[in-house]
Amino acid sequence: MLKRFLEKMLGRLARAVVRKYRPKIVAITGSVGKTTTRAACVAVLSVSFRVRGSIKNYNNELGVPISIIGFDAPGHSIFKWIGVFLKGVWLLLANDPLFPQVLVLEMGADHPGDLAYLMSIAPPDVGVITAVSAAHTEFFNSVEGVLEEKKVMITTLAEHHFAIINGDDERLTSIAGEVSARLESFGFSHDGQVKVLNDSVAYNEQGGPMGVRAEIRVDGREIELLIPGTLGKPVIYAALAGISVGRALGLEIGEIQKGLTAFVPPAGRLRILEGIKHTTLIDDTYNSSPHAAKAALSALECIQTSGHKFAVLGDMLELGALTEEAHREIGRLVVATGVATLITVGPAARFIADEARSAGLGEDHVFSFDAAAEAGSFLQQRLHEGDVVLVKGSQGVRCERVVKEVMAEPQDAEKLIVRQSKDWV
Question: Could you report the per-residue pLDDT of 278-334, keeping only the tens digit for each?
Answer: 999 999 999 999 999 999 999 999 999 999 999 999 999 989 889 999 999 999 999
Domain count, the chain: 2
pLDDT band at 116; cut points 50, 70, 90 = very high
pLDDT band at 6; cut points 50, 70, 90 = confident
Handedness of CA 14, 146, 353, 277 (dihedral sign): negative
Domain that holds residue 355: 271-416
Q: Does residue 86 contact residue 17 with C-beta atoms inside 8 Å?
A: no
Q: What is the mean pLDDT of residues 42-64?
A: 94
Q: Are residues 189 and 135 in the same domain?
A: yes
- Each residue of 68-93: pLDDT tens digit? 999 987 877 889 999 999 999 999 99
Percent of the chain with pLDDT over 70: 98
Q: Are residues 319 and 190 in the same domain?
A: no
CATH code, domain carrying 241: 3.40.1190.10
**Residue 135 above 70 pLDDT?**
no
pLDDT, the chain, mean: 95
- Each residue of 373-397: pLDDT tens digit? 999 999 999 999 999 999 999 999 9
Q: Are residues 47 and 172 in the same domain?
A: yes
pLDDT of amino acid 73: 77
- Each residue of 225-262: pLDDT tens digit? 999 999 999 999 999 999 999 999 999 999 999 999 99
If phi > 0 it is left, if psi is from -120 to 50 it is alpha, else beta; for residue 102 that is: beta
pLDDT of amino acid 19: 98
Neighbours of 187 (CB within 10 A): 21
Q: Are residues 301 and 196 in the same domain?
A: no
**Residue 1 above 70 pLDDT?**
no
Considering only residues 4 and 215, tell me which one the structure prediction assigns the higher pLDDT.
Answer: 215
pLDDT band at 3; cut points 50, 70, 90 = confident
Considering only residues 205 and 134, tell me which one the structure prediction assigns the higher pLDDT.
Answer: 205
In a domain, 265, yes or no: no
pLDDT of amino acid 405: 97
The DSSP letter of residue 163 is: E
Q: Are residues 254 and 321 in the same domain?
A: no
pLDDT band at 110; cut points 50, 70, 90 = confident
Rounded Cα–Cα distance for residues 261 and 374 (Å)? 39
pLDDT of amino acid 137: 58
Q: Are residues 199 and 302 in the same domain?
A: no
Q: Are residues 152 and 198 in the same domain?
A: yes
DSSP assignments along 131-161, one per residue? ---SSSHHHHSSHHHHHHHHTHHHHT--TTS
In a domain, 421, yes or no: no
Percent of the chain with pLDDT over 90: 87
pLDDT of amino acid 142: 84
Helix axes 290-302, 323-336, angle to 10 degrees: 10
Q: Are residues 176 and 287 in the same domain?
A: no
